[in-house]
Structure formats: C-alpha cells, structure tokens
Amino acid sequence: MKKILKRMTGIFLCVAMAVGIFGTTPAFAEGEDVSAQNTQAQAAQWPTGPEVQASSAVVMDASTGTVLFEKDADTPRYPASITKIMTTLLALENCSLDEVVHFSATAVYENEGGTSHIARDLDEEMTLEQCLYAIMLESANECSYAVAEHVGGGDYQKFIDMMNAKAAELGCTNTHFNNCNGLPDPNHVVSARDMALISREAIKNSMFRKIVGTVRYEIPPTNKHADPTPLNNHHQMISAYKGRQNLYEYCVGGKTGWTSDAGNTLVTFAEKDGMTLICVVMGCSAGGQYSDTRTLFDYCFDNFKLFNVSQNENRYENTQSTGNSLFTEWNAFAKVDSTAQIILPANANFADTQTEVNYDQTSDSILGTLVYSYGGRQVGTANVVTTGAKITAYPFGEKSGTVSKNDNQTELSEKSAETGNDAQNKNTSATKSNTQISKKKLLLIGGGVVGAIIVVLIIWLLYNNIRRIHRRKEGRDRRFKTIKNNRKWNKRGGR
C-alpha cells in the first residue's frame, strides 16, 4: 500500500509540474490554430543579404550564436593570422597574465624573418600579458610561438593539440590547426563559420575584449631591450595607425590576417544598440576585407533586432482576462532566464517565432530550455530556471505571515482607490476578482486531485476487504463440506 501511494503521489507531482511550468507542448497561445502557426513558419522570410567579394563570409550575433549572413561558410580555408585569436584565448584560459614567457631559439629564429614580428631576442623574457598585446596588435609571430611553448609546458605540439581540442569543444567541424600563428601550412585550415564560433568564445573573456579594443600599447624595457617597445593596433576599423579611411564607429576590436596563400582575412567585433556582432571574411583582395565587413555590419544592424525573452514571451500564459493559467501560478517556482535573448529580422515580431522545449541541459537550477526558431533558423534559446521557492508551500496556500506580490498589488490598489479615482477602483476590483477566481480554480483542482486519490484508496481498501471476506467464506465452506462428508462416512460404517 505504501509503494502504491508513493507512486501515485509521484505521478501527480510530475504531471502537475510539467503542465504548470511548461504548459502544453506546442508553444502558442491557448486557442490558436496549429495550422496558423505552420502558415506563419512558411511565411517567415530571412532578409536577403548583400553581395560581397570575399570568398567566405559569416556574420554571427554574439549573444545568441545566430548566423545572420553567410557565404560559403563551411569551406576550409587558410586563416593566416586570425589563427592567433585561438592562441590568445587558450593562453587566457590556462595561464595568469603575470607569468613570465621565455623566448627560445625556435620561437625567435623560425618565426621572424619575412613575417610579422617585434624583433625579440634569444632568452628574452616578457610577461604573458605583454606577449598577448604583441600578438593581437602587431601580430608578432615569435611572441605567438613563445606563448604556445609556455602554455604547453615547453611542449609546442601539446599546445597544437589543445587548439584542436578546443575547436572540437566549440563545435567546429571544418577546422584543423597545425601551428599557433597562421603561417602557410596545407594542414592548417579553418572555415568562416568555425572562426566565428572561436571568436564568439573569445569575446566572452573580458581580458580578450580589453586587448583587441586597445589602439596603442607599450612594452616596458626587458632583459634584452633597454628601450620600451611601442605597439599599434593594425585593425583599420578601430585604429588610424594606417589611415582613417576604414574607421568604423561601432567597431570594438578584431584581428587582421594576410599571407599570399590566404589572401586577406579579417575578424571584427562591432556593437550597436545593445547588439554585438562578429564578422569573419576570408579570401579577400587588398582593401576588400574592410569594405565587405562594413557592408555586412550595416546590413545586419539595419535588418535585425534583439528581443529579451522574459519580457516578450507570453504564449505559455492564458491570454484570457481571468489570468488563471497554470504557468502564471507556477512562476513562484520557475521563470525564464531574464538575460536570455533572441534575434529576429527587423520586420518580424516575437510572436512569429516557433518554440520547442529541450531537456538535454537540465540541472538542479535549469528545468529545461526553450529553443526559438524563425523561418527554419534557430534564433536563440532561453533557459527555464528555478527560483529557489519551496514547492511544499504551493499551491494550497501561502506561508503564514508572508505577503505575496498579488497581495501587495491589491493593497496598493486599495490605497489608490481611497483617493477617489473611480477608474482605479474598477481595476482594483477586477484584479481582486481575477485573483479570487484563480485561487478558487486552484483549490478546486487541488481538491479534485486529493479527492481522486482518496477514492482510489477507498476502492483499493474495499477490494482487499471483499477478497478477504470471499477467501474466509470459501474456507468455511470447505471445512463444512469436509465435516459433512465425514459424518456420512461414519453413518455408513466406514470407520
């Protein structure tokens, strides 16, 4: 009996939470026709992007990971020095900025020559922070190699393995690193989409953002250089070091790249109206990397906008005036992450999206994830998270001595009513009425469930009693029959 009761109670709680938190499985307002939503999905159109001369290009929204524009995004290409974004990211994730980096003979003699460098000497020492500024601003190849050796514990190949492992972790599928600085190598390739994924991870790091957003930096004297070493950012959309013609007011940083095999490559970060975009262009002619990047940024900033999910999502609530949906009542225990955003074309509405609930990333604090799509593209996600409230206090009544949000609102409305404002009096009465209806419905639901459980228990008990009575009757009948047969046998002289 105890096992049965536990099972019934568990099933009841699971069903209540599933219905109360997430509503029905389809994510649309109550009463909305499914066919209408399918029609919306078919009508949803992604804006047509501009023409660019780059061989490959991607624009990705940093907050959602949504690709807003792509051209030949998955073809592996030589990345040149934008490789150093991954080198810098791994150094920041695995080391402290004040660690001392030693320059080996390999770092100095095999990574300078005709390549970009800042003329470091054998056995020179610099802090990791100084090296990273040299890597990202001046694209110093010898600094990149020295950092790779340092992070790999003296083992350069170990660092290359770390680069490929990190790429796989980030979901890169058309990438293989074979060096830390992007010098030409047939086995060193990255696709534009993968480079955007790597850059998105890097821009999450505050120190990375600071470095790539720095226009000028100075390395103080070292054990091999008596004079300071000035560094200038070579990205022309943020720095006027090579002229002002390509400056872009929304640019917050990036990384340049060029080799004769790769052509011009460029990764750029830009922010406008709360939107952070990542643009990757590869295989560009001289100057084309900047004109393409500007064109793509202007297109995306003009044609897309961000939506905060928690401020716009209401399809899991009953839109009728009673306001008595289960999702509304269960918000004491679950809510949509207040920081979650999705990105949509500027002419689209939040209600034009389709959603589904994903349970792959659930944890103690995450109950599920709302996955949003528009026009067949995923445009963002939002976690449904716990609030920390105790389920035992809900829904059959609030704890004694506490005042709920609705109670506070009612009290404020009542005080407002005392001023003689008739309109506010009507609104207050309607709010109180809706609240009472909602609570009555919950009490009826709770009472119904409890009543159902009691009925099941009574039926179970009656069934067991009937079975016991029946078994006792059968036992008495068998004993009576035996006694009767024995008496007949005795009368016949069988004994």
Phi, psi of 466, rounded to the nearest 5 degrees: -60, -40
**For this structure, is 84 an active site residue?**
yes
Q: Which of 139, 199, 325, 438 is catalytic?
A: 139
Token digits of residue 27: 């994510």
* DSSP state, residue 89: H
Runs of H (alpha helix) within 204-240: 206-212
Helix ranges (DSSP H) in 204-256: 206-212
Q: Which two tokens stand for residue 66?
A: 């949504």
Can you list the pairs that 310-314 forms with residues at least 24 positions away whose Cβ atoms lie under 8 Å?
310/335, 310/336, 310/337, 310/338, 310/340, 310/382, 312/350, 313/350, 313/370, 313/382, 314/29
Cβ within 8 Å of residue 116, ≥6 positions away: 81, 138, 139, 140, 141
Whether residue 213 contacts residue 238, with contact meaning beta carbons closer than 8 Å, is answered with yes
Strand boundaries in 106-262, DSSP class E: 125-127, 216-219, 229-232, 251-259
- Selecting among 55, 56, 63, 81, the annotated active-site residue is 81
Annotated catalytic residue within 71, 84, 166, 255: 84
What gap in Å lies between CA 135 and CA 268, rounded to an integer?
A: 16
Q: Is 242 noted as a catalytic residue in this protein? A: no
Q: Which of 134, 311, 310, 285 is nearest to 219 (CA)?
A: 134
Question: How many Cβ atoms from other residues are within 10 Å of residue 223's Cβ?
Answer: 11
Which residues have C-beta within 8 Å of that of residue 380, sequence separation ≥ 6?
63, 64, 65, 66, 309, 340, 341, 342, 343, 372
Spatial CA neighbour of 213 closest among 223, 202, 221, 197: 202
Is 116 one of the catalytic residues?
Answer: no
**Active-site residue list:** 81, 84, 139
